Amino acid sequence: MTDVLVKVNLNESPYDNENIHNRWHPDIPMTTYVKSGDDFILECYDWTGGQIKNDDSAEDVRDVDLTQVHFLSGPIGVEGAKPGDLLEVDILDIGTFDNSQWGFNGFFSKYNGGGFLTEHFPEAQKSIWDFNGIFTKSRHIPNVEFAGIIHPGLIGTLPSHDLLQKWNEREQALVDTNPDRVPVLANMPFAKTAHMGKMTGADKDKAAAEAARTVPPREHGGNCDIKDLTKGAKIYFPVYVDGAGLSVGDLHFSQGDGEITFCGAIEMAGWIHLRVKVVKDGMEKYAIKNPIFKPSPLTPNYKDYLIFEGISVDEEGTQHYLDVNVAYRQAVLNAINYLKKFGYSGAQAYSLLGCAPVQGHISGVVDVPNACATLWVPTEIFDFDINPGSEQKVDNDIDDKGKFVIDLPLAPNPPKLK
Ligand code: ZN
C-alpha cells in the first residue's frame, strides 16, 4: 500500500491542517521525509481552499480572498537531496475524490484578480463542471463534453534564502514601476493570510512577512499551469534546499493552454500519486535553470482542430512589435467571436477556451513587426458541426430581456468600482 502522506478534510479549513502551506519559504518545515525512489500520495485542496462553491452564483468568485491562494500540500523532504541536485518526479496517477465530483472555472472581477481578457470581461462569472469518470461537462455551457487531462497547476521545490530574496527584489522593482495598477503587476508578500505549515510563533511571523506568494511560475517550477503535466509525465526540478521540499496543489481536471481565465482551469480538489528520485549534481551537469519535463505516454487523441491566428495588432488597431501576448489575445478573441456566431455567449466561449484542452502555439516571432500566435480548438469536443459552412447552433435561447437562457452566472462589480 502506498502511504498517503498528506490527508485533507474538505469540510475543514486548510489553515487547520499543518501539512498545507500557501507561501514559498526555505524555512517551512518538511511535512515528512521520504527516500529517493519512494512513491507516495498527497491529497490536495482546490487552490482556493474551498472558497468557491458548487452553486449558480458568481459572488464567491467576485469576493474571493486571493491573498490566501494557493493552498499546497507538503513540503515533502527527500533524504539526501542537496542544493545543486535535481529532483526527478514521476506523476504516477491523479484523481478526484468520490465526495467531490465537480470543479469550477471563472473569471475574476477586474478589481480582484482580473484575467487575460479582463478588459472584455471585467465582472466575475463562473461555470461549474460535473465529472463523469474521465469526462466532464457544464450545466452553464451547452453542447460540449470532453475528457479531462488531469494535472497539477502548481508543483515545485522550496527556494533557498538567496533565491527568495532575488524573487522579492525583482518583483518589487516591477511593482514600483506602476504601484497603483489594477490589476497589480505582481503580488508581494502578505503576512496576514500566510499559512506556513508547521511553523509557529515568532519564527512564523518573520518568515510570513518575507515568504513569496505562489501566483507566478519561477525557477523552482511553481504555478506553471502546464496542461501536459498529467499522469505519466516526468519532471526534473532544481533543488535549492536540503531535502528539496516538494509541494503540489492547484489540481486541474482540464485546462486550455494559457489558463486564460485565471480562475482558472477546471479547478478541483483531489489526490496525486508521485515518485521521487534524486539526480546528484544535476543542475550544473545539465545546465538546468528552470524545470524540464517529459510528456506522458497518454495524450489526448484529437485529430481535428479549428486553428485561430492572432497577430500583434491590438483591439484598437495599434501595431505592437513582435508582442506574443498581444498576438495570443487576438487569437483567443477571434475564437470567441467565431463561437458566438454558433450561439454561445461570449462568457461561455471564454470559459470553454480556459477549460477545454485547446492548444496555444507561438508560430512566428521574427517576421517584424508581427508575432503570430495560434489557438487550436479541438472540434470533437462539440456535439455539433462548428466548421465554416455549418448552419447548426447550440441548444440555447434568448429570453424576452435579451439574455441567454443558459449562461454563466455573473456577479456585478460594486457600483463604486465601475
Ligand atoms: Zn489552477
Domain boundaries of the chain, sorted by first residue: 4-294
Q: What's the pLDDT score for residue 1?
A: 84
> pTM here?
0.96
135 Cα: distance to centroid of ligand 1 (angstroms): 18
Which pLDDT belongs to residue 299? 82
Share of the chain above pLDDT 70, in %: 100
54 CA distance to ligand 1 centroid (A)? 16
Predicted local distance difference test score (pLDDT) of residue 261? 93
pLDDT in tens, 9-42: 999 999 999 999 999 999 999 999 999 999 999 9
R_g (Cα) of the chain, nearest Å? 21
How far, in Å, from the CA of 393 to the mean position of ligand 1?
31
Reply yes or no on whether the pLDDT at 252 is more than 70: yes
Cα angle 87, 93, 95; round to 5? 130
Residue 316 Cα, ligand 1 centroid: separation in angstroms?
A: 31
pLDDT of 139 reads 98
Q: Count CB-CB contacts under 10 A for residue 218.
A: 21
In terms of Cβ atoms closer than 10 Å to its own Cβ (0-12, 13-18, 19+), residue 247 is: buried
CA of 80 to the centre of ligand 1 (A): 31
- Could you tell me the distance, in angstroms and rounded to a whole number, from the CA of residue 254 to the centre of ligand 1? 10
Q: How far apart are CA 73 and CA 177, in angstroms?
A: 34
Q: Which helix (H) or strand (E) holds 155?
A: strand 151-157
Q: Is the peptide bond before 238 cis (omega within 30 degrees of 0)?
A: no
Centroid of ligand 1 to alpha carbon of 174 (angstroms): 24
Q: How far is the CA of 48 from the centre of ligand 1 (A)?
A: 9
- Beta strand 305-311 pairing with 86-96: unpaired
Reduced to 3 states (helix: H, G, I; strand: E, B; else coil), residue 364 is strand
Residue 417 pLDDT class (50, 70, 90 cuts): low
CA of 154 to the centre of ligand 1 (A): 7
**Mean pLDDT value of segment 239-265:** 96
Q: Which of the following CATH numbers is that of domain 4-294: 1.20.210.10, 2.70.150.10, 3.30.470.20, 2.60.120.580?
A: 2.60.120.580
The pLDDT confidence band at residue 414, using thresholds 50, 70 and 90, is confident
pLDDT, position 415? 80
262 contacts 355 by C-beta, under 8 angstroms: no
Q: How far apart are CA 390 and CA 402, in angstroms?
A: 24
Cβ(190)–Cβ(68) under 8 Å? no
Q: What is the pLDDT of residues 267-292, one digit of tens each?
A: 999 999 999 999 999 999 999 999 99
What is the pLDDT averaged over residues 257-275?
Answer: 95
Query: How far apart, in Å, are the Cα atoms of 34 and each of 247, 276, 407?
Result: 13, 9, 47
Mean pLDDT across the stretch 154-169? 98
CA 216 to ligand 1 centroid distance, Å: 11
CB distance 353 to 334 below 8 Å: no
CA terminus-to-terminus distance, the chain: 55
Average pLDDT over the chain reads 97
Cell representation of residue 277: 528520485
Single out the residue of 272, 200, 243 nearest to residue 42, CA to CA. Answer: 272
pLDDT score of 301: 87
Query: What is the 55 CA–ligand 1 centroid distance (Å)?
Result: 19
Q: Is pLDDT above 70 for 418?
A: no
For 15, the grid coordinates are: 489553515
Alpha helices per DSSP H over 89-178: 161-176
